[in-house]
């Protein structure tokens, strides 16, 4: 058992002891703990069900952590869906930090992270983790998608915001755009020079 899994189990035991026996929280935490003893495939299905339908954020967030620990790229979509679900307002970052913690490459979901970031104003944990996940995307990005995301982030902010929130929102979006441009520039330059060295015709994608 990994040190991180051991810590998760200890935390679950602690929260179970503190939860009222017979309560929904106690039941859902028990289900999370039981999933850790299941075969990988069965465990993943049980955890995915919890992320989608559990009624306590504690159980959902523990399930999200265990799913991310598998480093299976298939879990990115359900965790993103949980992060934007209306019922998880105020708890969204708990579904995203596990992806960042385990360095899961979310390149394929660049538009979704940009769209989520565009719903945030000022500065909060969701903004922070979105930028971190964009920073860690390895690419390559589809050129059309990368350029579209950059344009969205650089577009004029039309919401009525305080001067402080407007400055912070601009800064956050500029940083995200810069992260995308850096990765996109590097992949474009790599492709360009690879073709040039082979004597192939180089055209813009």
Answer yes or no: do 73 and 148 share one domain: no
Domain of residue 181, residue span: 105-205
pLDDT (0 to 100) of residue 9: 84
- Global pTM reads 0.86
* Last residue of one domain, picked from the residues 74, 103, 132: 103
Q: Which of 103, 121, 154 is a domain's end point?
A: 103
Q: List, for residues 76-123, the tens digit of each pLDDT value.
A: 999 999 999 999 999 999 999 999 999 999 999 999 999 999 999 999
Domain endpoint, select from 103, 122, 155: 103
Regarding whether 18 and 42 lie in a shared domain, the answer is: yes
- Considering the domain architecture, whether residues 75 and 118 belong to the same structural domain is answered as no
Residues 41 and 109 in one domain: no
pLDDT of residue 196: 55
pLDDT, position 198: 72
Per-residue HEC secondary structure of the chain comes to CCHHHHHHHHHHHHHHHHCCCCCHHHHHHHHHHHHCCCCHHHHHHHHHHHHHHCCCHHHHHHHHHHHHHCCCHHHHHHHHHHHHCHHHCCCHHHHCHHHHHCCCCCHHHHHHHHHHHHCCCCCCHHHHHHHHHHHCCCCCCCHHHHHHHHHHHHCCCCCCCCHHHHHHHHHHHHHHHHHHHHHHHHHHHHHHHHHHHCCCCCCCC
Residues of the chain with pLDDT under 70: 1-6, 190-197, 199-205
Residues 126, 98 share a domain: no
Q: What is the pLDDT of residue 1?
A: 44
Please report the pLDDT score of residue 52 as a whole number.
96
**Do 77 and 163 fall into the same domain?**
no
Domain count, the chain: 2
- Residue 32 and residue 120 in one domain: no
* Same-domain check for residues 29 and 95: yes
């Amino acid at each position: 058992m990994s040190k991180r899994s051991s810590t998760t189990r200890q935390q679950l035991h602690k929260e179970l002891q503190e939860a009222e026996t017979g309560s929904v929280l106690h039941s859902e935490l028990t289900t999370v703990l039981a999933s850790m003893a299941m075969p990988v495939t069965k465990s993943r299905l049980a955890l995915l069900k919890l992320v989608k339908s559990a009624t306590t954020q504690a159980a959902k967030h523990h399930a999200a952590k265990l799913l991310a620990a598998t480093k299976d790229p298939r879990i990115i979509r359900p965790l993103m869906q949980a992060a934007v679900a209306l019922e998880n307002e105020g708890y969204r970052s708990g579904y995203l930090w596990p992806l960042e913690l385990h360095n899961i490459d979310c390149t394929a979901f660049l538009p979704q992270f940009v769209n989520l970031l565009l719903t945030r104003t000022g500065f909060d944990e969701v903004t922070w983790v979105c930028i971190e996940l964009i920073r860690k995307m390895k690419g390559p990005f589809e050129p059309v998608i990368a350029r579209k995301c950059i344009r969205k982030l650089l577009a004029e902010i039309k919401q009525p915001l305080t001067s402080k929130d407007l400055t912070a929102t601009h800064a956050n979006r500029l940083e995200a755009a810069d992260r995308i441009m850096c990765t996109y520039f590097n992949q474009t330059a790599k492709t360009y020079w690879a073709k040039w060295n082979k004597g192939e015709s180089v055209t813009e994608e």
